[in-house]
């Protein structure tokens, strides 16, 4: 008698609800693409052509303490902190900008293929999104490709992965144009929780 393959089983996905714990002023004209809270300051990458910047912001007042303007033809995107360096993606220019964290001076540029959307650092690798369902793990010293992770929720690809964060051994990604954030297992690529934002 023939046997049928059982359908794949999926772990249940936790449904998480955010809780607002504080509110801070922020420049309403800044098109925030990457955001890092570090040493009591916000480090921010802003987008839009002719308006993209790298900023250091006082979260209490919302005042921009220091900033670097990007070249007019570059659209700033995701941002990650690696030791004393900031790595900032660009949307379609195929360039990762490397800045000195303390001086905000440019120190390097790395090329990559495709689009740059979100970026985070897991302690070993930079993890990059490109608006698809794929995340790319890259070497933090030269941005070379290490591996690719396909993200799935209940067996289906999750596209439009945007800004990324690394928290307690899990990747978090907002889904562009939706009001949800997904929590991703960095080994399997499976979504194990969804935040309804």
Beta bridge partners of 120: 127
d(CA 84, CA 74): 23
Q: What is the mean pLDDT of residues 48-56?
A: 97
pLDDT band at 3 (very low <50, low <70, confident <90, very high): very low
CA 40 to chain CA centroid, nearest Å: 20
pLDDT in tens, 101-135: 999 999 999 999 999 999 999 999 999 999 999 99
Q: What is the mean pLDDT of residues 145-153?
A: 97
pLDDT band at 77 (very low <50, low <70, confident <90, very high): very high
Distances 192 to 36, 53, 105, 172 between C-alpha atoms, Å:
24, 34, 39, 10
- What pLDDT, on a 0 to 100 scale, did the predictor assign at position 11? 67
Collapsed DSSP state (helix, strand, coil) of residue 52:
coil
d(CA 176, CA 157): 14
Percentages helix, strand, coil for the chain (3-state, rounded to 5) are 0, 50, 50
- What pLDDT, on a 0 to 100 scale, did the predictor assign at position 4? 41
pLDDT band at 6 (very low <50, low <70, confident <90, very high): very low
- What pLDDT, on a 0 to 100 scale, did the predictor assign at position 197? 83
Helix (H) or strand (E) holding 53: strand 53-57
Q: What is the mean pLDDT of residues 16-44?
A: 94
| Average pLDDT along the chain | 93
Please determine, for residue 10, whether its predicted confidence score (pLDDT) is greater than 60: no
Distances 114 to 12, 90, 121, 128 between C-alpha atoms, Å:
33, 10, 19, 11
Cα-Cα-Cα-Cα dihedral sign, residues 131, 136, 138, 140: positive
- The fraction of the chain above a pLDDT of 70, given in percent, is 94
- What pLDDT, on a 0 to 100 scale, did the predictor assign at position 12? 86
pLDDT in tens, 155-191: 999 999 999 999 999 999 999 999 999 999 999 999 9
Q: Is 150:121 a contact under the CB 8 Å cutoff?
A: no
Please determine, for residue 7, whether its predicted confidence score (pLDDT) is greater than 90: no
Give pTM, 2 decimals: 0.91
Distances 83 to 32, 56, 130 between C-alpha atoms, Å:
22, 16, 24
d(CA 95, CA 48): 15
Please determine, for residue 5, whether its predicted confidence score (pLDDT) is greater than 50: no
Residue in 116, 117, 115, 96 with CA at minimum distance from that of residue 107 = 96
CA 77 to chain CA centroid, nearest Å: 8
């Amino acid at each position: 008698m023939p046997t049928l393959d059982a359908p794949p089983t999926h772990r249940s996905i936790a449904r998480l609800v955010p809780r607002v714990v504080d509110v801070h002023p922020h420049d309403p004209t800044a098109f925030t693409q990457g955001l890092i809270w570090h040493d009591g300051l916000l480090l921010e990458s802003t987008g839009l052509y002719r308006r993209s910047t790298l900023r250091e912001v006082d979260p209490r007042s919302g005042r921009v303490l220091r900033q670097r303007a990007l070249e007019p033809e570059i659209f700033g995107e995701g941002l990650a902190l690696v030791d004393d360096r900031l790595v900032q993606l660009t949307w379609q220019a195929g360039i990762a900008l490397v800045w000195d964290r303390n001086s905000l001076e440019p120190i390097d540029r790395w090329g990559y293929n495709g689009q740059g959307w979100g970026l985070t650092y897991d302690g070993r690798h930079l993890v990059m999104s490109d608006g698809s369902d794929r995340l790319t793990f890259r070497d933090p010293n030269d941005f070379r490709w290490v591996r690719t992770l396909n993200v799935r929720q209940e067996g289906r690809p999750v596209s439009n992965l945007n800004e990324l964060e690394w928290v307690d051994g899990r990747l978090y990604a907002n889904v562009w144009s939706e009001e949800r954030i997904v929590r991703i297992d960095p080994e399997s690529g499976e979504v194990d929780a969804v935040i309804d934002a």
